């Protein structure tokens, strides 16, 4: 193959994608496969020092792309909201210790209150954590989630909403994570990707695919090419918006987690090269 055809230097993999591996196994395997970047699922840091995990990532020749995730801000109970903010402040510290330039925010929702109230609480929480993120040199990326998660995972469900939210704050530390799984259906996607990029707010780009039929609301994402998302088209919009960062594979899949993760990693790289 020509160099262009096996260039995985802009490929990043999110450790949740290879969930059966612990973070050390993932670092070693991604590195050996020539993957360029790694995003760390926050639970993968359990019983570990983020500084040491960061050192291991860099020693393996990988770039730490982001820590995932903070957020889940809305709640009827003030004490629960307080806890979510404190946890996210802690996640910002962990991202800094890891050397990850970005903390992904899954903003949250409380099914017991109106979405408008959840959205208000999200804005309030971001206002509170943003100064700490700036001080730590960690950027915050609002990830709009698919509307099927509006009840309990995120009240931010379109890229337009995420862009609007960013515009409420005048901060270079706040931007957006574009994930094709959540946004591919949106008739305004191209417009909002361009808007996001032109505003300097496109902080990360996540890829996977949408299976037909989808068997599970949470754990049935597809590998690129297995589903119906027009990946090249969206990738072209993201590039046109000026994004030059990593293309990050994030796949929650019971099906793929049940496989040999070595085989799955081979398939991820193959799918990425066909897509890239």
- Give least dist CB 1 to a second copy, A: 28
DSSP designation for 202: E
If one asks whether residue 242 binds a second copy (CB under 8 A), the answer comes out as no
- Shortest gap between Cβ of 114 and a second copy (angstroms)? 5
- Cβ neighbors of 191 (< 8 A, separation 6 or more) are none
- For CA atoms 112, 114, 117, 123, the dihedral sign is positive
Q: Which of 19, 81, 139, 146 contacts a second copy by CB under 8 A?
A: 146
Of 66 and 157, nearer to a second copy (C-beta) is 157
Q: Is 228 in the site for a second copy (CB under 8 A)?
A: yes
Beta carbon of residue 13, minimum distance to a second copy (angstroms, whole number): 25
Short-list 205, 275, 271, CA closest to 244: 205
CB of 239 to a second copy, least distance (A): 18
Rounded distance, CA 26 to CA 60, Å? 11
192 counts as binding a second copy under rule CB under 8 A = no
Site size toward a second copy (CB under 8 A) is 28
Report in angstroms the alpha-carbon separations of 267 from 27, 33, 74, 100, 258: 17, 11, 38, 26, 14
| The token pair that represents 69 in the structure block | 């995730």
Based on CB atoms, which residue is closest to a second copy, 124 or 263?
A: 124
Binds a second copy (CB under 8 A): choice among 34, 61, 131, 230: 230
> Beta strands 102-106 and 139-142: pairing type?
parallel
Pairing of the two strands 202-207 and 174-179: parallel
Q: Does 76 bind a second copy (CB under 8 A)?
A: no
Q: CB under 8 A: which stretch of 42-50, 80-88, 111-119, 197-205 binds a second copy?
A: 111-119
Position 147 contacts a second copy (CB under 8 A): yes
What's the CA gap between 130 and 50, in Å, rounded?
Answer: 21
d(CA 66, CA 128): 21
Q: How far apart are CA 70 and CA 224, in angstroms?
A: 26
Among 142, 153, 122, 141, CA closest to 218 = 153
Check binding of 20 to a second copy (CB under 8 A): no
Q: Which of residues 152-181 bind a second copy (CB under 8 A)?
A: 152, 157-158, 160-161
Tell me how far apart the alpha carbons of residues 197 and 176 are, in angstroms, rounded to a whole number: 9
**Least Å distance between CB 212 and a second copy?**
4
Task: Answer yes or no whether residue 139 interacts with a second copy by CB under 8 A.
Answer: no
How far apart (Å, rounded) are the C-alpha atoms in residues 8 and 266? Answer: 12
Q: Determine if 217 is a binding residue for a second copy (CB under 8 A).
A: yes
For a second copy, the closer of residues 51 and 185 by Cβ is: 185
Q: Which of residues 247-276 bind a second copy (CB under 8 A)?
A: none
Residues that bind a second copy (CB under 8 A): 111-112, 114-115, 119, 146-148, 150-152, 157-158, 160-161, 184-187, 210, 212-214, 217, 227-228, 230, 233
């Amino acid at each position: 193959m020509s160099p262009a055809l096996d260039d995985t230097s802009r490929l990043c993999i999110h450790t949740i994608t290879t969930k059966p591996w612990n973070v050390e196994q993932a670092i070693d395997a991604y590195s050996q496969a020539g993957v360029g970047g790694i995003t760390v699922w926050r639970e993968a840091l359990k019983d570990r020092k983020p500084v040491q995990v960061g050192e291991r990532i860099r020693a393996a020749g990988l770039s730490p792309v982001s820590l995932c995730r903070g957020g889940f801000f809305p709640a009827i109970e003030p004490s629960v909201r307080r806890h979510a903010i404190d946890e996210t402040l802690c996640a910002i510290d962990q991202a800094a210790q890891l050397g990850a330039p970005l903390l992904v925010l899954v903003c949250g929702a409380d099914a017991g209150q109106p979405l408008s109230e959840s959205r208000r609480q999200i804005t309030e929480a971001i206002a509170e954590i943003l100064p700490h993120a700036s001080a730590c040199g960690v950027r915050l990326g609002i990830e709009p989630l698919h509307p099927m998660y509006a009840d309990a995972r995120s009240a931010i469900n379109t890229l337009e909403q995420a862009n609007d939210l960013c515009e409420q704050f005048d901060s270079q530390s706040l931007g957006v994570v574009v994930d094709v799984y959540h946004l591919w259906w949106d008739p305004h996607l191209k417009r909002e990707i361009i808007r996001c990029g032109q505003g300097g707010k496109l902080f990360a780009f996540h890829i996977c695919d949408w299976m037909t039929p989808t068997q599970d609301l949470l754990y049935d994402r597809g590998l690129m090419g297995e589903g119906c998302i027009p990946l090249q088209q969206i990738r072209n919009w993201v590039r046109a918006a000026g994004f030059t960062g990593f293309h990050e594979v994030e796949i929650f899949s019971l099906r793929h987690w049940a496989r040999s993760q070595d085989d799955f990693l081979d398939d991820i790289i193959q799918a990425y090269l066909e897509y890239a």
